[in-house]
Amino acid sequence: MLLGGELFTVNLPRDPQRILDVGTGTGIWAVEVADQFPSAQVFGTDLSPIQPPWVPPNLQFYVDDAEAEWTWLENEKFDFIHGRGLCGGIGDWPRFYAQAWNNLKPGGWMEMQEHSVSFFSDDGGLEHATACVSAVIELERASERVGKPLNVAHLHRQWMIQAGFHDVQEVVKKVPIGPWAKDPKLKEIGTLYRAQMLQSVPSFMLAYYKQILDHSDEDTETAMAEVKEEFVDRRLHLYQRWYFVKGRRPV
């Protein structure tokens, strides 16, 4: 919904031949892109084989590590490389972008869609969101300890430029947590985003808190419950920032 129903912001040609979705997850984005461009070959890669078995005929999924050496052949370069939600999964971002650049056709585009881990408020509400602020501090500490920092969405533009991309553009959107915004569209987005955030609390916090920071079960459960309480507190007008960054390999 942030993109008005679009899957990306890049102005692709009508007939791209090869599209890569790095860190495809459940594969939803790749499936929709394959349907949108039936003449293109679409590939989705991820560490986990959790994609659906029934997919468009022009889509293939591979189990692959985006941090490992990319092994696409010289004649397999892409018109478009897409990634979303990879923060916390990559340790060496400059290398990641260098490999993406090397695997794009001249004139090909890359787009990354990432969100801040930090929370923001324009009316002072962050002072009262102590559980959320504390959680961000702990998540940053844990992710840095394992060498894969989470809160780096704001750095993708500079990494893309350093890798040699041209026409690098960044769009930052505020995404409310909850239906507190006055704008009807943002209100709907906030409702959906809060539901997603509530569902993702355990997947974000459990491993970091217990396995990396050695918090007790009780402390971890308490921290998660307090974060969820603040997500549904109507007095707290919290939001996160989503970064849409795109760049082109020069011809």
Residues 18-38 have pLDDT tens digits of: 999 999 999 999 999 999 999
Query: Contact, 238 vs 125, CB < 8 A?
Result: yes
Q: Considering the domain boundaries, does residue 4 fall inside one? A: no
Q: How far apart are the first and last CA of the chain?
A: 32
List of the chain residues with pLDDT < 70: none
Q: Considering the domain boundaries, does residue 11 fall inside one? A: no
- For residue 133, what are the contacts with CB-CB under 8 A and spacing of at least 6? 119, 126
Query: Contact, 154 vs 116, CB < 8 A?
Result: yes
Tell me, what's the pLDDT at 225?
Answer: 98
Joined together, the tokens standing for residue 58 give: 């022009």
Q: Considering the domain boundaries, does residue 88 fall inside one? A: yes
| Alpha carbon of residue 63 to chain centroid | 18
Tell me, what's the pLDDT at 91?
Answer: 97
The residue among 183, 186, 190, 178 whose CA lies nearest residue 228 is 178
Tell me, what's the pLDDT at 14?
Answer: 86
Tell me, what's the pLDDT at 13?
Answer: 87
Neighbours of 38 (CB within 10 A): 10
CATH number for position 160: 3.40.50.150
The Cα 169–Cα 135 span in angstroms is 30
| Helices 130-145/217-231 angle, 10° precision | 130
The residue among 145, 157, 187, 123 whose CA lies nearest residue 247 is 157
Q: Torsion over CA of 214, 215, 218 and 221, rounded to 10 degrees?
A: -110
Domain range holding 133? 18-248
Tell me, what's the pLDDT at 26?
Answer: 93
The Cα 191–Cα 112 span in angstroms is 24
User: DSSP secondary-structure letter at 145?
Assistant: H
- Domains: count for the chain: 1
Q: Considering the domain boundaries, does residue 3 fall inside one? A: no
Neighbours of 34 (CB within 10 A): 23
Q: Considering the domain boundaries, does residue 9 fall inside one? A: no
Q: Considering the domain boundaries, does residue 241 fall inside one? A: yes
Q: Considering the domain boundaries, does residue 13 fall inside one? A: no
Q: Considering the domain boundaries, does residue 1 fall inside one? A: no
Query: Contact, 192 vs 206, CB < 8 A?
Result: no
Tell me, what's the pLDDT at 5?
Answer: 87
